[in-house]
A and B are shown apart, each in its own frame.
Chain A
Amino acid sequence: MQETNQHITHKNEAVISIRGLYKSFGTLDVLKGIDLDVFKGENVAVLGRSGTGKSVLIKILAGLLKPDKGNVTVLGKDVSTLKEKELDALRLKIGFSFQNSALYDSMNVGQNLAFPLQMNFKNLSKKEIDTAVAEVLDAVGLKNKINEMPADLSGGQRKRIGIARTLILKPEIMLYDEPTSGLDPVTCIEINELIKEVQKKYKTSSIIITHDLTCAKATGDRVAMLLDGKFFKVGSFDEVFDTDNKLVQSFFNYNFIK
């Protein structure tokens, strides 16, 4: 079953390195020995059906969940062994875009964006924070929404603001959890373009968790297919789907309505 293609020669250093990662919840084994490298400046799309542990994987990378077994190294640091302060320092270099954007309901867009800066960099002046907010809002194309409340935004706009909130800390790594779920096809394309723009402009390395093949194809330099708690294959989009495996074929056919 496992045809993991882990032998891609890369000149760049691996910014994320996962080795033998296991995670279970009670009696349910979600991740059963995962290996993956993400190289500097690269986007890796992780594909898989719902409930296969895709989101669990990036939550472990961000230190929100602890692995049962295995090593997870992000920017040279083993996430599971870091102390709280070291983990916070690392988190400043990781941007996490949540599936439902996770914008703070009680704050408007501008306050949502300024909040991580105000909390982490107490010495920044109001002017500096305002400039940073304007810059990231411009980057996601929503400069005119600064005073809106999250409840007044559309799904696509919320996703953009969620991404902007992570960009304000100028992360080296971006983790996207289902960036196109629940969006119409046109907005999906816009979000895919935004992810590529972020990669170019902010020189980020990213993991994009998705079950949307269009998103994976558009945004991923490589694709990793998660099946039954393990990576079935890691490689280019065409390499991954050039297979006789029925589960992978049905996944492909369903997405493209063949």
Chain B
Amino acid sequence: MPHSKFKEKINNYFIGVSDAASFVGLFFKQVFSVPFHFREIINQCYVVGLKSLPLISLTGFITGMVFTKQSRPSLETFGATSWLPSLMSIAIVRALGSLVTALICSGKIGSSIGAELGSMRVTEQIDAMEVSAINPYKYLVISRVLATTITIPVLGLYCSFIALIGSFVNVTMYESTSFIGFFEYGFASITFLDVFTSVTKSVFFGFTIGMVGCYKGYNAANGTQGVGKAANQAVVLSMFLVFIEEIVIVQVSNWIRLY
């Protein structure tokens, strides 16, 4: 009996993987075909982007401040506090900005998409679209995934900038530094590859967050309990995938840096 249950679980796992792959495949099949729901994409960009700004601003600012504060004692040991702007710039632009944004968006956007689509699924609103000859995948999924893919890189860059301001504020608490001087010194240590890698990472993060939220919500079942489960799984899975992508992309960018 336990053997058959194990077999069933393995089977279900592979069925799930196959379903998810088809769901992602459908995106690439339909994204370039008409009709294009530009208005809905813009609407979703507003929901994903503009409405996340306050949270991203606060988180970015605090991350920059706290990271600078925690790094200071170690640098002080070597009398190297003047390296703080370049250290912070590298850390924030290469890793923290895009990663913090992705994690915040996994929680805020991923869960919201999962819950919204899940609720639409269990209340038959998605079926209602289908019977009205409206392609719900195109209208709901493609618009949301495009919105997260476009908006999260922009939010990532914005978060990096705000985090650097947070870092600058912390630096000025201990020593007098000009705003321009801090940023000139900081930006001097950043290469095009750093910014490019950060934006590329954010594009992948945005796609993943949108796709996971949509997949979990679109396939929600079992009433309101299913909606909660979809929202929860969207957050957990997208965060997990974000970390996996972070490791892979950082590794690839390091190889590029070597050559």
Contacts and interface: CB of A to CB of B under 8 A. Distances in A.
A63 B133 CA distance: 11
Nearest to B127: A64
Contacts of B130: 62-64, 91
Interface in A231-256: none
Given A64-B127, A98-B128, A122-B35, A105 B133 contact: no
A116 B130 CA distance: 10
A89 to B, nearest CB: 7
Interface stretch (B117-125, B225-233, B249-257): B117-125
Contacts of B139: 119
A244 to B, nearest CB: 38
B134 interface: yes
B124 A102 contact: yes
Contacts, number: 58
Contact of B125 (A92, A104, A166): A104
- Kindly name the residue among A89, A99, A120 whose own CB sees the greatest number of chain B CB atoms within 10 A: A120
B132 interface: yes
A63 B131 CA distance: 8
Nearest to A59: B127
B125 A102 contact: yes
Given A119-B139, A122-B35, A100 B133 contact: no
Interface string B205-247: 0000000000000000000000000000000000000000000
A149 to B, nearest CB: 14
Interface residues of B, number: 15
Nearest to A92: B133
Contacts of B133: 88-89, 91-92, 116, 119-120
A176 interface: no
B170 to A, nearest CB: 42
A94 interface: yes
A114 B125 CA distance: 15
Contacts of A105: 119-120, 123, 125
B124 A169 contact: no
A29 to B, nearest CB: 21
Contacts of B132: 91, 115-116, 119-120, 165-166, 169
Contacts of B123: 100, 102, 105
Interface in A74-124: 88-89, 91-92, 94, 96, 98-100, 102-105, 115-116, 119-120, 122
A26 B124 CA distance: 22
Contacts of B127: 59, 64, 96, 98, 102
A105 to B, nearest CB: 7
A98 B124 contact: yes
Contacts of A59: 127
Contacts of A103: 125, 128
Contacts of A64: 127, 130-131
A91 B35 contact: no
Interface in B56-92: none
A115 B134 CA distance: 9
A122 B134 CA distance: 12
Interface string B126-145: 01101111110001000000
A173 B39 CA distance: 32
Interface in A162-184: 165-166, 169
Interface of B: 35, 119-120, 123-125, 127-128, 130-135, 139
28 contacts: A62-B131, A63-B130, A63-B131, A64-B130, A91-B130, A91-B131, A91-B133, A92-B133, A96-B127, A96-B131, A98-B128, A99-B124, A100-B124, A102-B123, A102-B124, A102-B127, A103-B125, A103-B128, A104-B125, A104-B128, A105-B120, A115-B134, A116-B134, A119-B35, A119-B132, A119-B134, A122-B35, A169-B132
Closest 8 CB pairs of A and B: A102-B128, A88-B133, A116-B132, A102-B124, A96-B131, A91-B133, A119-B134, A62-B131
